[in-house]
Amino acid sequence: MSPEEFMTLLAFATAMSFTPGPNTTLSAALAANHGLRRAVGFIIAVPTGWTLMMVACGLGLGSLVLAVPALRWAVKVVGVLSLVWMAWKLAGSRSLGEADPARLEVTFWQGVALQFVNIKAWMLALAMAAGWVTSAAGQPAANPGQRLAIVCAVMLVFALTSNLTYALVGSLLRHWLSQGRRLIGFNRLMAALLLATAAWMAVA
């Protein structure tokens, strides 16, 4: 991979990783509601799941998903329903206390699985597979395995950094959110962002 390609990859990864999406929204919401330590599992799950998906796309899974309409619809439907469910749970969470039955919980493996029904993640993985893994300067790449390893390493770092950054912001808001009805408003705002993402996924 040439230095020019690598710099373009870094710019693309920055733009895609740090713009708001379901992962960063959940990272901020989980850290705000549960604390940073409880959100670490999800923060690590995002780059883990995304790297697995990127490897799968580099090995041809992306082409299969694009070629089979039923698979595309399955990914879309499950992804939309997952976000709607999480938005509903988040909107109903009213307390920072452990006893709140409405608290949104996302395990490590749920976070990994979420990447495979995240339309934004699929679009990013497919774009990178086509633009940086299988081709170079518009020509078929001679070393796709090496290029796939570079892309995965870059995105693993960026996915971890972006979600950790959003989670840190969420955790810093915990004290402020504990006063009055601020947490309810915050959770409903985060839920609205998840629903907006679900709506975008439904029409994408």
* pLDDT one-digit tens code per residue, 11-41: 888 888 888 888 999 999 999 888 899 899 9
CA distances from 83 to 9, 48, 65, 122, 172 (A): 28, 19, 20, 15, 24
- 47 pLDDT tier (thresholds 50, 70, 90): very high
Secondary structure E strands in the chain: 135-136, 139-140
CA angle 33, 37, 42 (to 5 degrees): 80
Give 97's DSSP letter.
S
- Quick one: CA torsion of 75, 81, 85, 88, rounded to 10 degrees? 130
pLDDT value of residue 97: 56
The domain limits of the chain are: 3-203
CA angle 123, 124, 130 (to 5 degrees): 90
Tell me the pLDDT of the chain averaged across its residues: 84
Q: What is the C-alpha separation between 168 and 162, in angstroms, rounded?
A: 10
Burial status of residue 142 (CB atoms within 10 A of its CB: 0-12, 13-18, 19 or more): exposed
Partners of 139 in the β-ladder: 136
pLDDT value of residue 17: 84
Q: What is the C-alpha separation between 112 and 45, in angstroms, rounded?
A: 5
pLDDT value of residue 166: 94
pTM, entire model: 0.83
Q: What is the C-alpha separation between 22 and 198, in angstroms, rounded?
A: 9
How long is the chain?
204
CB 39 within 8 A of CB 30: yes
CA distances from 184 to 26, 42, 187 (A): 15, 22, 5
Short-list 127, 117, 128, CA closest to 198: 117
pLDDT value of residue 138: 63
65 or 102, greater pLDDT: 65
Q: What is the C-alpha separation between 148 and 125, in angstroms, rounded?
A: 11
pLDDT value of residue 176: 87
